[in-house]
Amino acid sequence: MNFFIECILLTFNLTSIFMMSLLRWIIPTKHKSVKDEVCLVTGAGSGIGRLLAFEFAKRGAVLILWDIDNIGNRETADMIEKIGGKVFFENCDVSDREEIYKMAQKARMEAGDVTILVNNAGIVYGKDFMEITDEEIEKTIKVNSLAHFWTVRAFLPRMLENNHGHIVTVASVLGLIPLPGMTEYIASKFASVGFNHGLELELRKYQKDGVKTTLACPHHTNTGMFSGITYRFPSLLKPLEPFECVESIMHAILTNRSMVVIPRSMYFSYNMSTWMPHAATLAISKFTGILKSMESFIPTRDYQKKAAKIE
């Protein structure tokens, strides 16, 4: 095609995309149905994963719950069964590639092809770089980033064959804007953000537009994972309640949005960090006290307490 005509078509296309995006802000977009979809949630035994699983079950999806916390996972399954949902739950350590492949096989045999995959399991030790051990660094990267590669490799082929599916990456605002006191967590979340972006573009390259991706980047959420962390201006940046975080993630999934940053105000911080001089970003970080946020971190999860030698 003539280059000049291509440029005109691109201009029309871009204009209509911008108009549609604007309209989606004004007119509420209809939620898609997830009834009878087979939805696998990793880290479903507590916090955000548990609530996401419950939301999918409320809408009629069949749930597969993976976690290493058997008690928590059982509780989530009970919640789902109580509302009449169909649920399978398994102990699956997502830091172990072979276990993922084995459990994926089992999930397929029991529940059928997974059509919605929610990579949510995550850990944070909350230690400075010079304090964290090599093993803790490796574990964080395995759970928070590498696991996404293995789960997607296990379930994407069938999604591609059917040109139908949805891959959800629960990353973090810390996968866009860093914070000190957890370099391995930041690196793991930047990796999961990068993984999502790369995967999304490959799906578009192969024109598999029936397979959707959603990247969720929540700010600090009151699940207990980041207990005790403080901000200089807490009224400006309150932690999210788990239900509001999950509501926004669900809305993004059900409207096939490719990315959601929660709360919206964090888009502003993220955008500023991309164009401002780096020294200015550092000065703002210092002023807002985020350089010291993690100093008051309280380990509450068993693995965090063990790493901090609290028990």
Ligand X SMILES: NC(=O)c1ccc[n+]([C@@H]2O[C@H](COP(=O)([O-])OP(=O)(O)OC[C@H]3O[C@@H](n4cnc5c(N)ncnc54)[C@H](O)[C@@H]3O)[C@@H](O)[C@H]2O)c1
The single residue listed with the structure tokens 């990315």 is 259
Specify the residue, 190 or 208, whose C-beta has the smaller distance to ligand X. Answer: 190
Q: How far is the CB of 210 from ligand X (least distance, A)?
A: 26
Specify the residue, 5 or 236, whose C-beta has the smaller distance to ligand X. Answer: 236
How many whole angstroms separate alpha carbon 47 and alpha carbon 219? 14
Quick check: helix, strand or coil at residue 280? Answer: helix
Active site residue 185: yes
The answer to whether 180 and 285 have CB atoms below 8 angstroms apart is no
In the complex, the residues that contact ligand X under the rule CB under 6 A are 42-43, 45-49, 66-69, 72, 92-95, 120-123, 143, 170, 172, 218, 220-221, 223, 225-226, 301
How many whole angstroms separate alpha carbon 210 and alpha carbon 208? 5
Q: How far is the CB of 123 from ligand X (least distance, A)?
A: 5
178: tokens are 């860093």
Bridge-partner residues for 212, per DSSP? 166
- Neighbouring C-beta atoms of residue 38, cutoff 10 Å: 24
Q: How far is the CB of 143 from ligand X (least distance, A)?
A: 5
Specify the residue, 43 or 85, whose C-beta has the smaller distance to ligand X. Answer: 43
Sign of the Cα torsion 21, 24, 30, 33 reads positive
Out of 101, 125, 185, 270, which one is annotated catalytic? 185
Write the single-letter amino acid at 250: M
Specify the residue, 212 or 220, whose C-beta has the smaller distance to ligand X. Answer: 220
Q: How far is the CB of 53 from ligand X (least distance, A)?
A: 11
How many whole angstroms separate alpha carbon 191 and alpha carbon 45? 24
Catalytic residue numbers, as ranges: 185
